[in-house]
Chain A
């Protein structure tokens, strides 16, 4: 991630729409604004749309979440898992209360349970060649409807542009006109920072949510080592899975 470009993008948004002062910093590979960890996954537009579907009646009676995330060799699979477990709690609107996992080198398969009885499966793998952008999938299976951020009948991700030129094939998916030029990961970290600085996202909620997610990820690795599911006591207090309101204009 290019921190300089990201903060320039953040300044642009702050200047255009207005927001309190602040900048993005990276600690241990994760982005923060001040002491608040960013949850860029929650800001991804595809996740926003999926969250809306669980809340506006498009989907009814969520039963199971099937998630996956694959990244290049050398990627931090614990961080990848924490992100996916946070999204599971967020999209499932309920905290994780139990995890079981089987790991093998750069891969880990997790079966988790939410407090509302929803099942969650997460496939994590860091085996892609270096330089690949990675691939993830978030599927929500409900009594009424299945929603997914990958299209049916394919197992490769859709890209907006494929260009076959003199140097071979290159793919492009640009998702944010205002932050054009930033990578996918950079865009959503900037959007997350902007949401915090505008007061649309709550730093306390994100701190608590990220603490829960990293704990659940650590317990997943512990479950693998002990070959036994790990329980997580449900915490009372702030709801860490509430959505950021977005308007419907379509």
Chain B
């Protein structure tokens, strides 16, 4: 069930909003693509945050537009970016919420117009394109922030603080999961090798699958370990397992081990290991395993150990629609902090924590996983 979103449900709130806007100039923002799994997570924040004025959306196709309209945001939706820009020439920033293979052209479109960019978590896996993205953003002087929302999760914030305060001493080992259901039924491009990975590349000899699956969906833990250790990737080794979902062209189960340059050993599980119902629009009952998404981190240090569940505790039920035991996520406000940082960077000319240059090594580490799967050997990163 969807409840229409609204940023002003009373006269008092309208009055408050008007008064606030007299003191500051909200960033005129738009969304593009509307096919990414995270698209809907922005709606409430874009409407609520008074530092923003969400003026338009531009869907990739009619299907994406129809899905967008289910949420009744009240913000107009176009199918042609040029038409959107013609009607809203004052757009200052865009959330690019599209398939990975559309990011380059959309970033180029924004950079040419001097529009700031909030990019989804994988700008591109093509490193030539990646460098061009850096160059075009530098040239136009725009902010390009990468959406790695885990940094604005209050549990991750506590985790980083504990590590920085020396609660467990020097990190020796990190184990992390970024395991979820698969979004491919709702967002088919995530099961399409070209749309997800950017090109069609076989996983390894005699394997019928291609790059572009679960790994492409889960960069967070590859990024988090860099922040926690302050170190860079040295090498990585990865293995794919048999898929859980028949007919999927891309990998859904894999694991990786490796070492950071400071010696930290790591073990990552970025799989789609939680099964789901094949529904077209995410909503209640999507999950078959009780919890849709788990980011769990265990860290061994030379003075102690930390165990961390980034998305818990929650509320639990076995009610409608499927009468299955289900985790109802309860503390889920990463997008609030993410957008705050984006606005701060635009208005105060700051560089985002996760910018294109920083994020490059994370993408290289993920590519290292694919290289290792292909070669059967470790892959050096960077």
Tell me if B319 counts as interface (CB < 8 A to partner A). yes
Chain A, residues 151-173, CB within 8 Å of chain B (1/0): the string is: 11000011111111110001011
Contacting A at CB under 8 A, from B1-52, are: 1-6, 9-10, 12-13, 16-17, 19-20, 40-41, 43-44, 48-51
Q: What separation, in Å, do the CA atoms of A200 and B328 have in the docked complex?
A: 23
- Find chain B residues with CB under 8 A from A53 CB: 315, 317, 319, 328
- Find chain A residues with CB under 8 A from B109 CB: none
Q: What separation, in Å, do the CA atoms of A9 and B3 have in the docked complex?
A: 29
Among A13-21, A68-76, A96-104, A229-237, the one that faces the other chain is A13-21
Tell me if B130 counts as interface (CB < 8 A to partner A). no
Partner of A45 from the list B6, B71, B155, B331 (CB cut-off 8 Å) is B331
Q: What separation, in Å, do the CA atoms of A248 and B72 have in the docked complex?
A: 11
Q: Assess whether B337 is in contact with A152, with CB atoms less than 8 Å apart.
A: no
- Find chain A residues with CB under 8 A from B375 CB: none
- Find chain A residues with CB under 8 A from B332 CB: 250
Q: What separation, in Å, do the CA atoms of A244 and B246 have in the docked complex?
A: 44
Question: How many residues of chain B are within 8 Å of chain A by beta carbon?
Answer: 64
Q: What separation, in Å, do the CA atoms of A100 and B320 have in the docked complex?
A: 33
Among A28-36, A81-89, A174-182, the one that faces the other chain is A174-182
Q: Assess whether B168 is in contact with A163, with CB atoms less than 8 Å apart.
A: yes
Q: Assess whether B154 is in contact with A180, with CB atoms less than 8 Å apart.
A: yes
Partner of B167 from the list A56, A158, A165, A173 (CB cut-off 8 Å) is A165
Q: What separation, in Å, do the CA atoms of A247 and B10 have in the docked complex?
A: 15
Partner of B162 from the list A152, A163, A248 (CB cut-off 8 Å) is A163
Tell me if A27 counts as interface (CB < 8 A to partner B). no
- Find chain A residues with CB under 8 A from B48 CB: 17
Tell me if B273 counts as interface (CB < 8 A to partner A). no
Tell me if A11 counts as interface (CB < 8 A to partner B). no
Partner of A148 from the list B16, B315, B334 (CB cut-off 8 Å) is B315
Contacting A at CB under 8 A, from B111-166, are: 152-155, 157-159, 162
Q: Assess whether A248 is in contact with B333, with CB atoms less than 8 Å apart.
A: no
Tell me if A23 counts as interface (CB < 8 A to partner B). no
Tell me if B306 counts as interface (CB < 8 A to partner A). yes
Q: Assess whether B40 is in contact with A142, with CB atoms less than 8 Å apart.
A: no
Partner of B319 from the list A144, A158, A161, A172 (CB cut-off 8 Å) is A144
Tell me if B352 counts as interface (CB < 8 A to partner A). no
Among A57-65, A109-117, A124-132, A216-224, the one that faces the other chain is A57-65
Q: With A160-B158, A165-B304 given, is the CB distance from A199 to B328 under 8 Å?
A: no
Tell me if B282 counts as interface (CB < 8 A to partner A). yes
Contacting A at CB under 8 A, from B307-356, are: 307-310, 312-320, 323, 325, 328-334, 336-337
Report the minimum CB–CB distance from B324 to chain A (whole Å). 10
- Find chain B residues with CB under 8 A from A238 CB: none
Report the minimum CB–CB distance from B24 to chain A (whole Å). 10
Q: With A144-B323, A161-B307, A165-B303 given, is the CB distance from A249 to B43 under 8 Å?
A: yes
Contacting B at CB under 8 A, from A172-218, are: 172-178, 180, 198-200
Chain B, residues 64-85, CB within 8 Å of chain A (1/0): the string is: 0000000100000000000000
Report the minimum CB–CB distance from A189 to chain B (whole Å). 17
Tell me if A123 counts as interface (CB < 8 A to partner B). no
- Find chain B residues with CB under 8 A from A50 CB: 315
Q: Assess whether B312 is in contact with A176, with CB atoms less than 8 Å apart.
A: no
Q: Assess whether B162 is in contact with A20, with CB atoms less than 8 Å apart.
A: no
Q: With A59-B319, A165-B168, A249-B44 given, is the CB distance from A178 to B307 under 8 Å?
A: no
- Find chain B residues with CB under 8 A from A160 CB: 155, 158, 308-310, 312-313
Q: Assess whether A177 is in contact with B334, with CB atoms less than 8 Å apart.
A: yes
Tell me if B376 counts as interface (CB < 8 A to partner A). no
Q: Assess whether B333 is in contact with A163, with CB atoms less than 8 Å apart.
A: no
Partner of B154 from the list A158, A159, A177, A250 (CB cut-off 8 Å) is A177
Q: Assess whether B320 is in contact with A144, with CB atoms less than 8 Å apart.
A: yes
Tell me if B89 counts as interface (CB < 8 A to partner A). no
Q: What separation, in Å, do the CA atoms of A178 and B333 have in the docked complex?
A: 9
- Find chain A residues with CB under 8 A from B328 CB: 49, 53, 147
Q: Assess whether B317 is in contact with A249, with CB atoms less than 8 Å apart.
A: no
Tell me if B208 counts as interface (CB < 8 A to partner A). no
- Find chain A residues with CB under 8 A from B188 CB: none
Q: What separation, in Å, do the CA atoms of A112 and B307 have in the docked complex?
A: 40
A/B interface sample: 24 pairs, CB < 8 A: A17-B48, A18-B19, A20-B16, A45-B330, A58-B284, A60-B320, A146-B317, A147-B315, A147-B316, A148-B317, A151-B316, A152-B316, A160-B308, A163-B168, A165-B167, A166-B303, A166-B304, A174-B158, A178-B336, A200-B9, A200-B13, A247-B5, A249-B41, A250-B283
What are the 8 closest A-B residue pairs judged by CB atoms, nearest first? Answer: A145-B319, A147-B317, A18-B16, A199-B12, A174-B154, A158-B313, A165-B304, A58-B319
